[in-house]
Every structure is written in structure tokens, then in C-alpha cells.
Structure 1
Amino acid sequence: MELRSSSQRKKRMYADRTKDFISELPQDIVECILLRLPIKETVRTSILSQKWRYKWTTLREIVFTEQSMVLANGKPTTNNFANIYHVLINHTGPIKKFGARFSLFKRINQFNLDLWVSLLKEKGIQEIILEFMKGKFCVAPSRLFSCERLTYLKLYGCMVKLPCPFSGLRSLNRLDLDCFDVTNAEFNRLLSGCSVLETLTLIDFDIDYLTFDIPSLRFLYVDGKFKSISFGSATHISWLRIRLLGNANGHLNQDNCCNLITILGCQTSIEKLVLQNHIMKFLSVGNIPTKFPTMFDCLKEISLTVNFKDLDEVSVVLCLLRSSPIFEHLKITVWLKRLGRQRNADDFWTAQNQIDSMDQLRFVCIDEFFGGESELQFIKYVLGKSPALEKMIIYPRKKVCSKGPKMFEQLRQYHRASVKAELVICS
């Protein structure tokens, strides 16, 4: 009896070891496993067994990269683009997400690209990511802009040419354009057709006149070259980041109209604001008021890149701070640029001392601190006007660290409106 029992146990143990537990998993779990494999390996699972032969054909997400196109010698090649067509044509059911990340390939066959998008449209595609080599500007397929169910579109290294007629992408919720080429007219036509767009990212571009006439827009990231920017009906943005590249001086209006009020005055719903590089110079044109006509009652986080040698830029900073009654977090990145003759800094800062305090400010970070007089005055101003301040962290430049002990001691002697304010200098 004991021998028979031992033999049965061994058989059960052997059966357990050889049992295909993965094949018995629920379909949604199997799909999660397959989605974590490179698409090349995912398709190869079809040779494992009869059960696995068609499992990959129902995946809702398909992403190709250069590694999917690798030959036996280890080099990626566009000659394998036919494999993408075979994967799509043999796929059954809908595809939610498709990605083609080929930023290393200098040439992309336009016919193949058009064919992929045609198949994806038939399968009710909702998310498309197309990434190609920077500067080559592969033309985005015209059929791409007629995918009615598309909710997310990302294009990198593409030229945007809309079809005629263009009825719009009425389901598009998020649009990311990076390193792209488009005319001003085509850009405006594209945005006007995205009636429910909430998140828009624009990076590495050159468009003269940016207009965001989209009432549904909530998150906007702009990082490129432009001559003007306006928001039209996009007045409910909660997260705004603008980085202007190139020389702002060539794009500045010379009248008395205040760019700061004209551009940001309508954004009273904003919660986080990031302004970098030349945009601060751009906003400093015109007569800068002490405060905005309407306060930023939702704004809690502010991050700015400031040339402290330019007191007009400093005026923009102070105007924003005074107009944000509940902001709690402030980050300032210092950058320096030589200017012509400026007004007297002592008179400027003496006038600021008559201004109200920043009651809710709790955390401040000063990055790339150089130690100029205007920077010191700004720190003194913030410390003296922030009764709720908990911590100010200063990251000096390396050159400052070697000669700054006396300066740092001066900073520590500044009056603090908050008894609990901690000043940390990371030298």
C-alpha cells in the first residue's frame, strides 16, 4: 500500500510539473502577459501549441519598434515593414492602440504607412503613436485624420497635411506633436476640428501665430518658436507650460499693450504655471501692472525661468505672485543675459517693499543661483513677505560656491516673516 501511495504521489507531482498552467489562465491575464513582450516575441507564441496559435491575434494593443525590424545580423531594416502588414491583416477583432516607433530609420515607405493606417481605421483604432527620425518629416497619412474613434494621437518627426475636406477628429482627447512641420493655416484647421481636446503638447516647432481656440482645453505644453500666442475661447486651462525658444527680441511688439495681461489675463482657472526661457521677456513687453485685473484664485504652483538682470522680467514675476492669493509652491531658475542700460535697482526694490505679503507661500526653490544684487533682493523680499513659509532651498552655481560663504551668511541674516522658515543652501 505504501509503495502504491508513493507511486501515485510521484505521478501527481510529475503531472503538476508538466501541466501548462499559463494556458489555463483567464484571457485577460494572458493578454497582460503578451502585452509585456516585444511584438516579435508575442507573435512567436503562436508556435507553442494549438491553444496559443491565435491568442496574439486578439490583442488590443500592438507596438512596433526598431527591434521588431532586426535581421539575423542584428541590424534593424525597413525591409521587414511587410511584417507589420501581415500582423495587422491577420489580427482579428478591434485594435485599441497602435504604435510605430522608428526614430532611427532615415526613410519610411509612405505606401506602407498609408496601408497600416487604413487597416487600423477599419479596426476602430483609438490611440496611435507614430515616431520617425527627427528632421526627415515623414508625411502623416491623410486617412489618419479621418479616424472617427481616435482619442489619442502622437506624432514625432511628421509633416502634417490635412485632407480636403477635413471633418475633424471629434473624439480626440489628447494630441502630442513633437518635432513636426505644419503651416499656420493647417495648424489652425487641425485644432478647430478637435472639439473635445483636453490635453495638447507641442514641442520643437516653428509656427508664427499660435491660437488655441478650444474651450475644452485643460492641459497645454508649448515648447518651440513662435511670434505670438493667444488663447481665444481656451479660458479654462488648469495646467500651462510655455517655453519660448530662439531670440524673443525679434518677436516683441513695440506698443504699450501689455503682453502679460493680454496673454495670461484670461487664464483664471490655472492651477500650475510653468514659464521658461524667452517667454518671460516676451511677457514683459508693455506697461506691467502691480497686479492682474482678475486674480488667479486657483493657482498653487509657479515655476519660472528669470533673467534677474532684466527688471522688467522681475516685474512680471512679482505681478504674478501678487495676483496669486493661494499659491504655495514657487520655483525660480536663474539665467543670465547681458542687457543694455537698466533702471536703478535700488529704487525698484524700495518700491516693492510697499506691496502686500504672500500669505500662503510655503515652499520656495531657487535653482542656478548666481548671487547678483537683484537675486539677493528678491530672496530678501520673499523671506520678508511670506508669513507661512516653511522652507526655502537655494542651489548655487559652482562658481558661486567657491566664493560665496560671506554671501550665504548674508542670506541667513535676512528678516523672515515666518518664525518656522528654514533656509537651506545646497553648496
Structure 2
Amino acid sequence: MLDFSVKNSVVGFIKTGDVLCPDLISELPESIIEIILIKLPIRDALRTSILSSKWKHKWSSITHLVFDEKSVPICYDQQALQESVVKFISRVLFLHQGPVHKFEIAHFFLQSCPEIDQWILFLSRKDIQDLTLELGNDEYFRMPSCLFTCQKLTRLNLSCCELDLPHSFKGFPCLNSLSFNRVFTPPEAIERLISSCPRLEKFSLIWCDSLALTIRAPQLKYLFLKGEFKDLCLVDTPLLVELSVSMYMTHDLAEHVELSSNCNFVKFLGSVPNLERFDSFMDFTKYLSIGNHDLRHLAIMFNNLERIQMAPVNFSDMKERRTVLRLITSSPNLKKLCISGSSDVAASTSKEDLDFWKNECPSDSVLSKLKFVDLEDMSGVLHEIEFIKFLLGCSPVLETMIIIPSILDKECQLKMLIELMKFPRASSKAGINFIRSNYPIILSPSSID
């Protein structure tokens, strides 16, 4: 057993039983020792001070301080735990020496407290570059204005707080990544913050509800939005490569949005020519479809788009299937397509509906790179079947199509299978995996022949 006590050690050695062994760890370069301490939980890093006199103050100069739920022992007394966490963090900062480049609190038992202002003020004087505050959501705290003096910030991650931009704020010149989760702030403040961060590449906005938001960020590459939005618009985002939107629309909000005469497809996707991945969840496909009366002649191409995921899509709604079709046919390098259906089985089919695929599909449509298709919650309505037929007929390198029906009736599933077996396939390798009652029926090209 190793004995690290000072009385049983000699400079440069540690005692193991009756043998003195070289203290190799203490002889490592300071930069290596700091890396070791950073990798340890903060509580264990502090405990290294008892190893020897040489280690007593080494932890106090580490540049990364991460406080999570392992920092203090968990107890069932919420008030006692809160006080213990606050006291521990304050004590560490009081004893710390030198710069702090990364500071993270990810402790869901820690609620808003006055000490947060003191911590942020301390960090603003310590060259902070990476700041994360993820506290419990029982009570929101107001972010102190000294945050906006942290001009070396490269990453900022805030949750459950209120944020007011000072009038004197000129931006974060080095900020690369920004994440807000349940942050209360007006939309104009978010827009101003984004536009005043010239190096911003990643932006995540979650549950900052009922915002009408316009995003201007010429260096932005990754965008993640989730929550209730009144309106969304992308302007000057030419470098965006990954886009994920989960949009929730209440009935009142949907009525408000549908009154708009703008083409949301163009307004949101018209300035993302370099998009590589696009994910649309909840009501966002419906949102994109509003104002889309005729998309066939729009000069918008997504030449780099390789993956599309949309859930759900109501194929009984002409505008929604038009939106999906336009996005797919404008993506010549699409490789993977994942769509979840939510079609109205009881909806009637008009004459205009019957002519949709003949009128809307370009006669020369070829999805020359599409290899994988995943279609879930397919109810077997006419336009879902026609969509599958379209994909099979214009995808010459398709390898796998997975179809998971939402209907439980075996007779209806059988009808779907019969229809699928009739469709011509542009790819000789295309196999259809029809997942029925948790086991697949594989329709390979040879089984059709």
C-alpha cells in the first residue's frame, strides 16, 4: 500500500512498505501534472494536496474547474445540499490562483443563489474562455452584467437564467459556441448578441418560447433550435452545414403563422447553400409548407445536402408533401433520407390530389446518390404509396429502404406489400425491409423477379 504522508517520504521518493521508490509523478512537467489534475473530478483534485508538501498547492493553479453532482456528497436534505455546494465552490475559488480558462457548473440540485454574482465577477477577472452554468430549474437567476466584460469567451452555455444585454455591450469578439436553454431574454437581444459575435460557428436555442427570430451570422455552421416560435428567418448564413429545428405550434400560433403571405421555405432555407444535414421535427415541416403555392421554379439548390430527416410529415397535406418533394429534388447529392409519417387516413382525395405526382415531379428527377431510406409510421394512404413509388423509380444506387407501417390491420399491411411489389426499381440492388409486427419482410430485387 502506498504511503503518501510527508513523514514517510524523502524528497524525490515515496515509501511503499519498507522500500523507497522514485516519486516519478512529482517529477513530471507542470503541464503534464495539470492535465492529470484536470482529468480528475474537482473533489479528487483537491485531495492531492495531502500527498506531500510538493503537492499541497498544485491543484490551486489548474485552469479548468468543473463542478458536477460528484463534487460534494449527495444528501436528502435539499437545503443542506445547496449550502454544501455553494460553500464548496466559493471555497475553491477563494483559494484558486492564476487564470481560469474553463468554468462549469452542471449541478441540478443547485438553485439560484446570490453567490453566483460573485463567482461570475471573479471569473471575469480570470481570463475565462469557456463558461457553462447548468443549474436546477426551480428558480431562474439573473445573469450579472459583468458577464459581458468577459471578452475572451470562446464558449458560453447558459440555462435557467434571465439575460439582459447592457446598452454598452459591443459583442464577444472570440465567441465560437453559444447555447441557451430556457433563457429568458427578448428576441431582439438574441439577434443583437448573435450578430455581434463575428466568429460564432455554433448556436443552440432550446425552450426560449414564443420568439419571432431572425438569425444573421455569416460564420455560423451549426444551428439547433427547439421550442415554440412565432416566426423564424435565416439571413446571411452561407456557411451553415448542419441545421436541426424542433418547432412546436399551438393552435393559436398555427393560425397566426398560416395568415402569413410569405413563403417560409424560401425565407428559412433560401440562404443555406452549403447545408449538409437537415433535421425537421414536430411542426416544422408544416411551418415550412406555409406560403408554398408553387416551388417548382425556385432557383434554390442544396448541392452539399447529404442527409435529411423529417418527422412527422402529413402526406395528406398537399403543401407538406410539396415541401418534402422540393427539398429532395433540390438535393442532388442526397445519400440518406429518414421520414416519419403522420397522414390523415380519413382525408378525401380530390382530382387535384390525384394529379399531384404527375404535375409536381420533374420528369427527369434522379436521386443519383441516395442509398438509404427509412420511412416510419406509414399508414398506407395514396400519397405515401406514391412517394415510395417515386423514390424507388428515381434512385439508381439505392441499397436499402426500410418501411415501418403504423397500421396494425394485417389485411391493410398485405395490401401495402402487394403495391410495393408492383413498383419498378431504378436500382438493381434496392432491397425493401418491411418491418411488420417487429419482424421484417425483405423484398429483394430477386424476389420480385
Give the whole-Å Cα distance in 1 for the aligned partners of 2:308 and 2:108. Answer: 34
Give the whole-Å Cα distance in 2 for the aligned partners of 1:108 and 1:262. Answer: 39
Distance 1:62 1:417, change over 3 A: same
Q: Does the residue aligned with 1:382 lie in a helix, a strand or coil?
A: helix
Distance 1:167 1:327, change over 3 A: same
Tell me, yes or no, if the aligned pair for 1:146 and 1:168 is still in contact at 8 Å.
no
2:426 to 414, 417, 420: 417
1:249 aligned partner: 254
Give the whole-Å Cα distance in 2 for the aligned partners of 1:29 and 1:399. Answer: 60
CA RMSD of aligned residues (A): 2.6
Tell me, yes or no, if the aligned pair for 1:161 and 1:186 is still in contact at 8 Å.
yes
Give the whole-Å Cα distance in 1 for the aligned partners of 2:20 and 2:368. Answer: 67
Tell me, yes or no, if the aligned pair for 2:234 and 2:267 is still in contact at 8 Å.
no
**Aligned pair 1:323/2:330, yes or no?**
yes
Percent pairwise identity:
32
Give the whole-Å Cα distance in 2 for the aligned partners of 1:409 and 1:342. Answer: 21
Q: CA deviation at 1:398?
A: 7.3
1:100 aligned partner: 105
2:171 to 151, 168, 172: 168
Report the TM-score, using the length of structure 2 for normalisation: 0.84
Could you tell me which amino acid in structure 1 is paired with residue 300 of structure 2? Answer: T
Give the whole-Å Cα distance in 2 for the aligned partners of 1:186 and 1:194. Answer: 13
1:296 aligned partner: 302
Q: Does the residue aligned with 1:87 lie in a helix, a strand or coil?
A: helix
Tell me, yes or no, if the aligned pair for 1:172 and 1:196 is still in contact at 8 Å.
yes
Distance 1:288 1:163, change over 3 A: same
Give the whole-Å Cα distance in 2 for the aligned partners of 1:40 and 1:152. Answer: 24
Could you tell me which amino acid in structure 2 is paired with residue 230 of structure 1? Answer: C
Q: Does the residue aligned with 2:331 lie in a helix, a strand or coil?
A: coil
Could you tell me which amino acid in structure 2 is paired with residue 183 of structure 1? Answer: P
Q: Deviations over 1:372-416 (max 9, x none)?
A: 322121111100111121211223347367962442343233211
Distance 1:359 1:190, change over 3 A: same
Q: CA deviation at 1:180?
A: 1.7
Give the whole-Å Cα distance in 1 for the aligned partners of 2:107 and 2:81. Answer: 10
Give the whole-Å Cα distance in 1 for the aligned partners of 2:160 and 2:390. Answer: 45
Q: Does the residue aligned with 1:211 lie in a helix, a strand or coil?
A: strand
Distance 1:74 1:59, change over 3 A: farther
**Aligned pair 1:377/2:386, yes or no?**
yes
Could you tell me which amino acid in structure 1 is paired with residue 369 of structure 2? Answer: Q
Give the whole-Å Cα distance in 1 for the aligned partners of 2:345 and 2:94. Answer: 60
2:11 aligned partner: none
Tell me, yes or no, if the aligned pair for 1:258 and 1:288 is still in contact at 8 Å.
no
Q: Does the residue aligned with 1:276 lie in a helix, a strand or coil?
A: strand
Q: Deviations over 1:251-272 (max 9, x none)?
A: 3243543221222112112111
1:347 to 355, 368, 372: 355
Distance 1:13 1:177, change over 3 A: closer
2:155 aligned partner: 152
Distance 1:275 1:49, change over 3 A: same
Give the whole-Å Cα distance in 1 for the aligned partners of 2:416 and 2:175. Answer: 53
Distance 1:340 1:181, change over 3 A: farther
2:395 to 377, 381, 386: 386
Give the whole-Å Cα distance in 2 for the aligned partners of 1:341 and 1:394. Answer: 24
Q: CA deviation at 1:16?
A: 6.2
Give the whole-Å Cα distance in 1 for the aligned partners of 2:36 and 2:407. Answer: 48
Could you tell me which amino acid in structure 2 is paired with residue 232 of structure 1? Answer: V
Report the TM-score, using the length of structure 1 for normalisation: 0.89
Q: Structure 1: any 5+ residue segments left out of the alignment? A: 1-11
1:43 to 37, 42, 46: 46
Q: Tell me whether 227-236 or 194-203 shows the greater mean CA deviation.
A: 227-236
2:61 to 58, 62, 76: 58
**Aligned pair 1:267/2:272, yes or no?**
yes
Q: Tell me whether 92-101 or 20-29 shows the greater mean CA deviation.
A: 20-29
2:180 aligned partner: 177
Tell me, yes or no, if the aligned pair for 1:291 and 1:323 is still in contact at 8 Å.
no
Give the whole-Å Cα distance in 2 for the aligned partners of 1:17 and 1:208. Answer: 67
Q: Tell me whether 373-382 or 334-343 shows the greater mean CA deviation.
A: 334-343
Q: Structure 2: any 5+ residue segments left out of the alignment? A: 1-14, 437-449
Tell me, yes or no, if the aligned pair for 1:391 and 1:423 is still in contact at 8 Å.
yes
> Aligned residue pairs: how many?
414
1:78 to 73, 79, 82: 82
Q: CA deviation at 1:197?
A: 0.8
Q: Tell me whether 68-77 or 300-309 shows the greater mean CA deviation.
A: 68-77
**Aligned pair 1:404/2:385, yes or no?**
no
